[in-house]
């Protein structure tokens, strides 16, 4: 272990205690003050744009020297327009409804006790992410607006960019009179700090990993703190016999090809054996530049479809590749999805409402869709304003998670001296 200060154990313990203290303040901070901090942070980002872009240029140069892939360098790179997007993102979060203090439900008991469940912040949120520096701002803003303190740990390749953006956020906190420890950035880039965050029970209330599969898998394996995570977006689009043919083509192509690298992209197209024109969506995908890997029935429809091997049904391509299977109606589709879905997002294209409802009820995924593109699986598209992640777990929050998912509730009981019999 290096003896240069601080060691990861001390670092995370210290940051955790500072975060816990800040969280107490934040839990009682009015909406307007939190919004003020975010607006001031946005101004600080704009005011220090040159410095942030220069820091980012250093990160990018280092990444290129280190031979990072083009895609990774692209995720890392900021430009004036992306930076303005980060600033307006802060302002957008500031405009979201504050969940803290919302009354979920209330009742009066026969003995006169008045009960209410009131939303309160989770406490301290740890966010572990990879190369995208905008996560520093996005995640910090969502945590702050929901009354939580944040401990952010970004990828080493974005060290300078993250520090520069974090500096602007802290300036915003200071202007609003909020504790600087409300949003902390783990400066050390060694992996031991991540390990300490994952073990920080009592200091960190929830860990949100944002990044590739290996990061998320490591977090889920090691964490003793609860994790809000999704591993895969293995999404399906099923074309039922009752589907409108034009809609089927449009949705199949959009669900797969609009952006192939996002978790809501369809990875497997299922077509009802009874569908009148199964060749059309297959041809449309191929013509759009998508490689198709199909079962024997799908291959019989178009010679350009390659043979799928068993792994293809469980592969999240995140690329212009799609598995195609012919199934026996909605039951066949649901059976396939039950076996292969990652329970992220699955869609049916159908005009028959009864069949669609059967699918919506029977498919056990965080998001189920009828006549819509799986690419809509996104907190922004769902009206949440932003998202800190999409949870494929079943506990606490499921699907896109934004402000509400970063809160819990307390039971508030108001009496008039009732003793229990």
Which residue matches tokens 């420890």?
181
Q: How far is the CB of 38 from a copy of itself (least distance, A)?
A: 23
Q: How far apart are CA 60 and CA 67, in angstroms?
A: 11
Q: How far is the CB of 18 from a copy of itself (least distance, A)?
A: 16
Q: How far is the CB of 163 from a copy of itself (least distance, A)?
A: 30
Pick the closer one to a copy of itself by CB: 1 or 419.
Answer: 419
Binding residues for a copy of itself, rule: CB under 8 A, are: 24, 27-28, 107, 109, 113, 115, 120, 122-123, 205-206, 226, 244, 247, 250-251, 253-255, 258, 338, 356, 360-362, 364-373, 375-376, 381-383, 393-396, 398-400, 408-420
Q: How far is the CB of 365 from a copy of itself (least distance, A)?
A: 7
**Number of C-beta neighbours around residue 245 at 10 A:** 14
The answer to whether the beta carbons of residues 4 and 11 sit under 8 Å apart is no
Alpha-helical (H) ranges within 200-352 are 213-222, 245-257, 279-287, 296-301, 329-340
Pick the closer one to a copy of itself by CB: 318 or 369.
Answer: 369
Pick the closer one to a copy of itself by CB: 85 or 393.
Answer: 393
Provide the token pair at 24: 């107490």
Residues 6 or more apart whose CB falls under 8 angstroms from that of 90 comprise 38, 39, 41, 42, 45, 137, 141, 172
Pick the closer one to a copy of itself by CB: 55 or 386.
Answer: 386
Pick the closer one to a copy of itself by CB: 53 or 251.
Answer: 251
Q: How far is the CB of 421 from a copy of itself (least distance, A)?
A: 8
Q: How far apart are CA 265 and CA 390, in angstroms?
A: 13
Pick the closer one to a copy of itself by CB: 147 or 211.
Answer: 147
User: Mapping DSSP to helix (H, G, I), strand (E, B) and coil, where does residue 291 land?
Assistant: strand
Distances (CA, A) of 139 to 19, 145, 300: 15, 10, 48
Q: How far is the CB of 392 from a copy of itself (least distance, A)?
A: 11
């Amino acid at each position: 272990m290096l003896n240069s200060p601080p060691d990861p154990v001390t670092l995370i313990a210290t940051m955790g205690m500072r975060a816990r203290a800040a969280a107490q303040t934040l839990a009682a901070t009015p909406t307007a003050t939190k919004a003020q901090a975010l607006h001031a942070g946005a101004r600080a980002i704009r005011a220090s744009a040159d410095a942030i872009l220069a820091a980012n240029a250093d990160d990018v140069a280092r990444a290129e020297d280190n031979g990072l892939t083009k895609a990774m360098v692209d995720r890392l790179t900021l430009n004036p327009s992306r930076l303005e997007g980060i600033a307006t993102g802060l302002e957008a979060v500031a405009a979201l409804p504050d969940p803290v203090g919302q009354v979920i439900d209330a009742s009066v008991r026969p003995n006169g006790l008045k009960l209410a469940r009131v939303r309160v912040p989770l406490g301290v949120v740890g966010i572990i992410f990879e190369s995208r520096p905008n996560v520093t701002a996005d995640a910090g803003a969502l945590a702050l607006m929901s009354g939580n303190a944040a401990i952010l740990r970004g990828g080493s390749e974005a060290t300078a960019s993250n520090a520069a953006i974090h500096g602007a956020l802290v300036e915003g906190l200071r202007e609003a009179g909020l504790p600087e420890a409300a949003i902390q950035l783990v400066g050390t880039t060694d992996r031991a700090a991540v390990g300490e965050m994952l073990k920080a029970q009592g200091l960190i209330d929830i860990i949100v990993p944002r990044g590739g599969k290996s990061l998320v898998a490591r977090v889920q394996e090691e964490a003793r703190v609860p994790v809000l995570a999704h591993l895969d977006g293995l999404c399906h689009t099923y074309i039922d016999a009752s589907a409108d043919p034009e809609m089927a083509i449009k949705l199949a192509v959009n669900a797969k090809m609009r952006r192939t690298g996002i978790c809501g992209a369809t990875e497997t197209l299922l077509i009802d054996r009874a569908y009148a024109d199964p060749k059309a969506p297959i041809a449309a995908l191929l013509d759009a530049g998508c490689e198709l890997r199909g079962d024997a029935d799908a291959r019989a429809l178009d010679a350009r479809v390659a043979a799928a091997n068993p792994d293809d049904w469980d592969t999240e391509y995140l690329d212009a590749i799609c598995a195609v299977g012919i199934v026996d109606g909605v039951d066949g589709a649901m059976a396939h999805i039950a076996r292969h879905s990652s329970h992220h997002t699955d869609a049916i294209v159908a005009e028959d409402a009864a069949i669609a409802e059967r699918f919506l009820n029977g498919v056990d995924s965080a998001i189920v869709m009828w006549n819509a593109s799986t690419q809509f699986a996104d907190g922004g598209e769902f009206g949440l304003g932003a998202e800190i992640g999409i949870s494929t777990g079943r506990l606490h929050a499921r699907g896109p998670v934004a402000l509400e998912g970063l809160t819990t509730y307390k039971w508030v009981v108001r009496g008039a001296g009732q003793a229990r019999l």
